[in-house]
Amino acid sequence: MYGEIALFSGNGNPQLAREISQALAVPLCPADVFRFSNQNIFCRLKTSVRGKDVFIIQPIAMSYDEHGNMVTVNDNLMELLIMIDTVKRDSAGRITAVVPYYGYGRTDKKDQPRVPITARLVADLITTAGANRFLTLDL
Q: What is the pTM of this model?
A: 0.93
Q: What residue ranges in the chain does DSSP mark as E strands?
A: 5-9, 31-35, 41-45, 53-57, 63-64, 70-71, 94-99, 133-136
User: Which residue range(s) make up the domain with 68?
Assistant: 5-136
Q: How many CA atoms does the CB half-sphere of 24 hold within 13 Å?
A: 14
pLDDT in tens, 12-71: 999 999 999 999 999 999 999 999 999 999 999 999 999 999 999 999 999 998 889 899
> What's 67's domain CATH number?
3.40.50.2020
Cβ atoms of 88 and 56 closer than 8 Å: no
What's the total number of domains in the chain?
1
Residue 4: phi, psi to the nearest 5?
Answer: -65, 160
The span from the CA of 72 to the CA of 104, in Å, is: 12
Q: How confident is the model at residue 137 (pLDDT cuts 50, 70, 90)?
A: confident
pLDDT in tens, 81-130: 999 999 999 999 999 999 999 999 888 888 889 988 999 999 999 999 99
